[in-house]
Structures are given as structure tokens and as C-alpha cells.
Structure 1
Amino acid sequence: MRLYLAIGVLLLALLAYTEAQDDTIQQRFANVGDQLSEFGQSIAEKTKAAMKTIQDSDFAIATRNFFQNGFEKLKKSVEDIRNP
């Protein structure tokens, strides 16, 4: 008997809670749109920060310099072959 009474009280509390949060469908869709917009901006900011961190890392700088030096050497070799 106590279980039925407890379930009844919980259902009444749930009903009161849901009625207190009575948003219209329009408000719900507006909130979803705002939340998606905020989520998109958050993801964009985090992605930019991650890319900046990767770009400024020691490994990225060393790799970039390695390929630039290699390309310059190759370019000089080709020029030397063209113009003996």
C-alpha cells in the first residue's frame, strides 16, 4: 500500500513539474535554434584554437622548415642543371 501511495505522490510531483515548465512549441523551436547556433559557435572557436595550437607546435614548425629547405635545395639543383 505504501508503494502505491509513493508512486501516486511521485506522479503528482511530476505533473506539477511539467505544468510549471509549459513552453509553447514556438519557444521550444526558438530555444533549439539558439542552442544549435551556440553549439556551432563553440565548435568553431574550439577548432580554431586547436588548429592554432597545432600550427604553432614545435613539430609543425620543424616539419615546415624541413620541407622548405628541401624545396629550396631542389629548386637550386634544378636551376644549376638548367644553367651550367
Structure 2
Amino acid sequence: MKLYLAAAVLMLVLAVHTAEAQEEPTLEQHFTKFGTQMKEIAEDLADKTKTAFQNIEQSELGTKTRNWFNDQYEKLKQKMTETFN
């Protein structure tokens, strides 16, 4: 009788321990979760960077700067053409 009781208690302890072990994430699950979090952070950063560049491109300062560089390039190109022809 004691043997049956000991076996039943042992099975109960084993079942409880197994249930607790399943609740704890494994190393693989930790790495998967970490990878997912890094992917989300990278996507969020990419979206914010894209939005920032679009805002700069559409701003008045961005337009004036782009026009100034284009004018300087055209002047340099014209000067090079006059010099080497």
C-alpha cells in the first residue's frame, strides 16, 4: 500500500513539475522573442527615418538647399564646358 501511495505522490509531483516547466520559456523561445522585438524596432526606426527624410525633402529649407546645389552644379558644369572647349 505504501508503494502505491509513494508512486501516486511521485506521479503528482512529476506532473506539477512538468506543468511548471512548460510555463517557463525555453532558450529558443527567448531568442525567437528577441528576434521579433529587434525586427519590430528596426521596422519602427525605418518608418520614422523615412518620414523624417520626407519631411525634410518637402520643407522650405530642403527645397531651397536642393535648388542652391542644382544652381551651383549648373554653374560648375558651364564653367568646365567653357574651360575645356
Q: TM-score, normalising length from structure 1?
A: 0.57
Partner of 1:58: 60
Aligned-pair RMSD on alpha carbons?
2.1
Bigger Cα displacement from structure 2, 74-83 vs 52-61: 74-83
How big is each residue's C-alpha offset from its partner over 1:55-81, in whole Å with a ceiling of 9 and x where there is no partner?
Answer: 221111101111212222333344345
Inter-partner Cα distance in structure 2 for 1:30 and 1:74:
54
Report how far residue 24 of structure 1 moved.
2.0
Aligned-residue sequence identity (percent) comes to 35
1:40 to 39, 42, 54: 42
CA distance in 2, matches of 1:24, 1:82: 71
| Structure 1 ranges of 4+ moved more than 3 A | 77-83
Distance 1:79 1:42, change over 3 A: same
The normalised TM-score by structure 2 is 0.57
Matched residue count: 63
Q: Find the aligned partners of 2:84 and 2:36 in 1 and give their Cα distance.
A: 62
